A and B are shown apart, each in its own frame.
Chain A
Amino acid sequence: MEIFRHDLNINFLGMRKVSIVISAICLIVSVWAITVKGLNYGLDFTGGVLIQVSYERPVDVGDVRSALMKVGFEHAVVQSVGGTREISIRLQIPKTEAKKQSPDQIAGAISKKVLTALQVDNPGAKLAQSPDFVGPEVGQQLKTSGIYAVIVVIIGIMVYLGMRFEKRFAVAAVASEIHDTVITLGIIALVQREFDMTVLASILAVVGYSINDKVVVFDRVRELFRLTRKAKTQDILNRAINNTLSRTIITSGFTALAMASLYLFGGPAVHGFAITMLIGILVGTLSSIFFASPLLLWLGVSKKDLMPVTKENPELARRP
């Protein structure tokens, strides 16, 4: 079974001006979204208020969630605490409440609002204990160490690719990796999807996925450069993309299949993870065709850079 004709020859590089412009626009919009709109950090990052409510009769967590939704607490984390008659609700502090001076005032105001909302359906609801402030799960330390980690990763990958391929390949791979991550983050910021721990995890996975795609295409470029005697760089790049197109689509398709199943059937716990992966896969796949390769062409790779270095035999040189 084959989905793609193996003798496919699409002139991807011919579209490079258009594709790079599109990439640039996406990048600018993404940077704008991240810096101006900002990421909608979830409870894991911001902390918030913890409210414990007890009921006279067993209560369904889903009902509580929808009751809170009605009064505007969109991302409340609702769970039952040992048993079905006591639940804990964690929510972020709404911007309107944040102006109040003391933390106790804020917590008090929010818990009152929550309780009124819950008592509409269930008059027996009451506070089990006084509301508490909870700190963010992701501390400042994780944020700073995360930035260090990213820098070390980028340097490490560049050094390895520089050794195995050539420095221009390394630059192109890392540039497209950053491109993919920024655009994925940009989309999340643009639609204001909650950025929590699971989304952070999937961003890390997207980075890995994206670099993998680039390595596969670049490997074929390296191979074709070494095999063909005379060819224009642009033709080589086109052939490399076309040759690996089938694998690019199949691998993306397989991964997307698994993620789509997570998104459709996995429930809210893995929603963020699955959707971010899906976006990342799409961006990563497109960028290895339309962004990484044109970049390689502009950086000016040539056959010469990739030939294995053969030592000249001094014995031979001396002979007439």
Chain B
Amino acid sequence: MNDFPRWRYWVVGIAMVLGLLYAAPNVYRPQPAVQISPNRDAKVDANLQKQVATDLDKAKIPYQSIAIEKDRMLVRFANTQVQLQGSDVLRTGLGGDYTVALNLASTVPHWMLAIGARAMPLGLDLQGGVHFLLSVDEQAVLKKQQQRYLDDIRSTLREKQIPVDAVSLSGDGVLAVFKTSDDRDKAMAAINEGTTDLAYTESRTPGGGYAFKADIKPDVVQKLAQAAITQNVTTLRNRVNALGVSEPLIQQQGESRIVVELPGVQDTAAAKRALGATATLEYHADDPNVNAAQAAQTGDVPPDDRIYYTKDGQPVVLKKRVIVSGDELVDASAGFDQQTGMPDVNVTLNSAGARRMLDFTTQNVGKRMGVVYIETTPEVKVVDGKEVHTTKTTETVLNNAVIQGVFGKKFQTTGLTQQEAETLSLMLRSGSLAAPMDIVEQSVIGPSLGQDNIKKGDRAIVLGLALVLLAAAIYYRLFGIVADIALVFNLLLLVAVMSLVGVTLTMPGIAGIILALGMAIDANVLICERIREELRNGSTPLASIRTGYEKSFSVIVDAHVTHLIAAVALMATGAGAIKGFGVTLAIGIIISLFTSLTMTHAITALIHGGRKRKLKTLWV
């Protein structure tokens, strides 16, 4: 057909090739594996590889490969049962120097990954895993802040020597009572110098005193609550990363909830323990008289000292005595030093902590002081058939800096990159400020109805699609075959785009794919019926094709746009499953519009347009 512009053939051709290429990675399903990552100064190298191999051989556990990938090692197994046995053997064999975690390793060839092609991750309902919904206790955060303002107000009044009758917590604010209104005004002015987060209501007490009630301003409350959530999300992410789960989902849901989904994890108990870990902080003095590197080798330290390690595995020798602990820290935020403009972390302590910090720093200017992050994870081990509850404590030195001057309530840590400052402030906060979280929902979602059923479902979908393709070919003959080609490419393109965008495939997503394919079939049926109608009305074959496409254009566009509106609305307003359905449907509709109108037209034009002799009949 001459009225079909050449560039469109190119568009169709390129789309077909790209679709094939980017849908291809989904053929390679991930493989059960065990991930070994080093703790502290342990190394992932050829020696470890040898050790892992001998350990597994000794236990007669067959493995497929042992590979070093960046700073971790992946041992691949044929199935999950062997994987579980393997991980048990390695966990006992390697001891505490390494974290051994179950993982799913990608089997997509490297050249595909290099061009950005990757497989769609499967959702919890298809792959199984655990799902948690955590609720963050914002009230606890507010209570803590309230206490902090109370301490602040007390110490400000003391400093400025303003006489006060009583200062106490009241409702969600602080109540202060004064003898005269003059004292009250002075007090408010003094407090306002330190903070602008408070709003005051003045009143008279029955005893004739002058009182004000200071409440935390609503926008500050909101900011605190949001910070608590962000804080907890970060902490959770760190802990989940330690579990070695691929494709975890950790996100805020609503105002005070956090969703955690760990695909592929089956052991809820272990996941729950990791999420339920508690953290705290301790400030310790550095012992300058001990060579840390030497002490780490010999294990020889003075009785008052202990060896700690930084995240990179560097040893640090600190005094055992705690200067300030996590619950005395009220805030930590990353910022920039006002004089040098360098990144820093601003730390605020409560009054008790401030006093001790002041005492300590007065005597120790020029020496170092380290911050230790302590995480306690509950663990359950089975010993002699009985469950034994223990806890595992991990202590890491976050920072070991020189004390530049005397400080108390507020101080800065400098000499960090911006990235380091952010991380340090986050870790400081998670060791002290993290709002308590409760698990309100938890479920182990097995590959919803079991692996065998998913295989069955897969086969049935392929069979169903094959039947439809066959029926279309029989009923519409040549045009049916053209429609079939378009339909197959519709599916390929849809899978390709979903993989590229990184959509997680879930059951509602599959429903979206099926509906989109249904739309594509319908569009082709509409076109074929129209062409038949035109032929019956006595048009020539070529004219029938042209008018067939022209006349079915409006209905196909209307139907698709209607669907697109629905899909976008579902995407924008829906959550979870409904959103997944909307995303898939929206992508599918746009692709269906392209394959049904442009791709089939191009193929038809290629078949019928090139012929010199006059087209007498159409196979439709």
Contacts and interface: CB of A to CB of B under 8 A. Distances in A.
Q: Which of A197, A209, A211 has the most CB of B within 10 A?
A: A197
B299 interface: no
Given A137-B443, A247-B526, A267-B457, A149 B574 contact: yes
A200 B450 CA distance: 20
Given A149-B573, A152-B573, A251-B525, A266 B559 contact: no
Contacts of A80: 450
A212 B565 CA distance: 12
A191 B450 CA distance: 25
Contacts of B464: 257-262
Nearest to B456: A267
Interface string A116-151: 000000000000010010111111011001101100
Interface stretch (B329-337, B347-355, B471-479): B471-479
Interface string B130-152: 01010000000000000000000
B569 interface: yes
A254 B468 contact: yes
Interface in B517-533: 518-519, 521-522, 525-526, 529, 532-533
Interface in A188-209: 197-198, 200-202, 204-205, 207-209
Interface string B506-540: 01101110110011011001100100110010000
Contacts of A205: 511-512, 514-515, 518, 581
A134 B563 contact: no
A80 B445 CA distance: 12
Interface stretch (A13-21, A25-33, A83-91): A83-91
Interface residues of B, number: 84
B423 interface: no
A135 B133 contact: yes
B80 A77 contact: no
B609 interface: no
A61 interface: yes
Contacts of B519: 208, 212
B268 A215 contact: no
B442 interface: yes
Contact of A153 (B254, B510, B559, B569): B569
B208 interface: no
Nearest to A261: B464
B563 A145 contact: no
B489 to A, nearest CB: 17
- A207, A246, A247, A257: residue with the most chain B Cβ atoms closer than 10 Å: A247
Interface in B547-573: 551, 554-555, 558-559, 561-563, 565-566, 568-570, 572-573
A156 interface: yes
B515 A197 contact: no
A219 B554 CA distance: 8
A195 to B, nearest CB: 13
A194 to B, nearest CB: 12
14 contacts: A6-B536, A79-B128, A142-B574, A146-B575, A153-B566, A198-B507, A201-B508, A208-B519, A208-B585, A212-B518, A247-B525, A251-B521, A254-B471, A262-B461
Interface of B: 80-81, 83-84, 125, 128, 131, 133, 253-254, 257, 266-269, 440-450, 452-454, 456-457, 459-461, 463-465, 467-468, 471-472, 474-475, 477, 507-508, 510-512, 514-515, 518-519, 521-522, 525-526, 529, 532-533, 536, 551, 554-555, 558-559, 561-563, 565-566, 568-570, 572-578, 581-582, 585
Given A77-B448, A208-B563, 11 more contacts: A142-B574, A142-B576, A148-B573, A157-B566, A160-B565, A207-B566, A212-B562, A215-B559, A254-B525, A262-B464, A270-B461
